[in-house]
Amino acid sequence: MNKDRSTNWAVTILIALGSLFILFPLYMTVSIALKNPEEMAKSIFALPTGLHFENFSNAIKATDFFSAFKNSALITLISVGFILLSNSLVSYAVARNMGSKFFKGLYFYFISAMFIPFQIIMLPVVKLTTNLHMNNIPGIIVLYIVYGLAFNIFVYVGYIRSIPVELEEAATVDGASTYGTFWRVIFPLLAPINATVAILSCLSTWNDFMLPLIILSDPNSYTLPLVQYVFQGQFSTDFNLAFASYLLALAPMVIVYLVAQKWIINGITQGAVK
């Protein structure tokens, strides 16, 4: 009994410490974003005595926030949509033909890409995209779809193989084609794993900095993380505007999670149980 209590206390302490590591930087971001330079000079850790919301409006103007937001939203939404449709379809073909040496080799070929560091292929990717004139928003969308293929096939194949083949056989008896079976029978059953893949892809695409930095050449195509980087270089001493800008870039993903947390948690839980 005492052992169980000590274990519970240890877990509670670890959770509390982990929460502090997450909440303290968030507190500092909000606090600094709402202060003026005079309050910053007095104490960086103290609560703001006044709420200086003008920092946000100034940051929006300085970073051209809405243009960068539009670019990030466009890239993220299109990438995630195509990732769900294309990667699930490829995974279905692989999962249902794992008895074939070709498809089994193809599966291991895909997932082997997870072990290749991006730094190794970075320069060839830059050269290739430049030669193909893909150093723009459509080009970076294609790259996000391709780069997510390895991990997504890994999780999709494992999930699809747990779905009874008898469901597809029944659909075939009823006259459904292979594509019809996938879209009408299998794809609806992928809702839990689709939720997991969608949120992971959404977060990684929205927060990605390196790929837009090396691919996007037009400032009008810059995403929010890239705009924050440029803005930080220009206003490195104005921490209030800088942190207001960071908070604006963070807010969309926080809102997405708060709105979709029910589906996200259910998807991850059902996927684990499956």
Q: Which of 22, 37, 52 is the last residue of a domain?
A: 52
Residues 218-254 pLDDT 10s: 889 999 999 888 887 776 667 888 888 888 888 888 8
Please name which of 198, 126, 121, 212 lies closest in space to residue 156, comparing C-alpha atoms: 198
Q: Which of 52, 68, 93 is the last residue of a domain?
A: 52
CA angle 219, 222, 226 (to 5 degrees): 115
Residues 155-165 pLDDT 10s: 999 889 988 99
Q: Do residues 171 and 36 both lie within one domain?
A: no
Is the pLDDT reported for residue 87 higher than 90? yes
Q: Do residues 3 and 103 both lie within one domain?
A: no
Is the pLDDT reported for residue 272 higher than 60? no
Q: Do residues 23 and 78 both lie within one domain?
A: no
Q: Do residues 265 and 164 both lie within one domain?
A: yes
Report pTM.
Answer: 0.83
Length of the chain: 274
Q: Do residues 92 and 34 both lie within one domain?
A: no
8 Å CB contact between 183 and 203? no
H-only helix segments in 132-238 = 137-147, 149-160, 165-173, 178-181, 187-189, 191-207, 210-215, 224-234
Q: What CATH code is carried by the domain that includes residue 128? A: 1.10.3720.10
8 Å CB contact between 156 and 84? no
Is the pLDDT reported for residue 114 higher than 90? no
Q: Do residues 105 and 133 both lie within one domain?
A: yes
Domain of 43 in residue numbering reads as 1-52
Domain count, the chain: 2
Q: Do residues 22 and 158 both lie within one domain?
A: no
Q: To which H or E segment does residue 221 belong?
A: none
Residue 221, amino acid: S
Arithmetic mean of pLDDT over the chain: 85
Q: Do residues 46 and 67 both lie within one domain?
A: no
Tokens of 171: 């659909």
Tokens of 150: 């390895």
User: From the CB of residue 252, how many other CB atoms can be counted at a distance below 10 Å?
Assistant: 15
Please name which of 66, 76, 26 lies closest in space to residue 203, comparing C-alpha atoms: 76
Q: Do residues 46 and 170 both lie within one domain?
A: no
Q: Which of 52, 72, 88 is the last residue of a domain?
A: 52
8 Å CB contact between 233 and 216? no
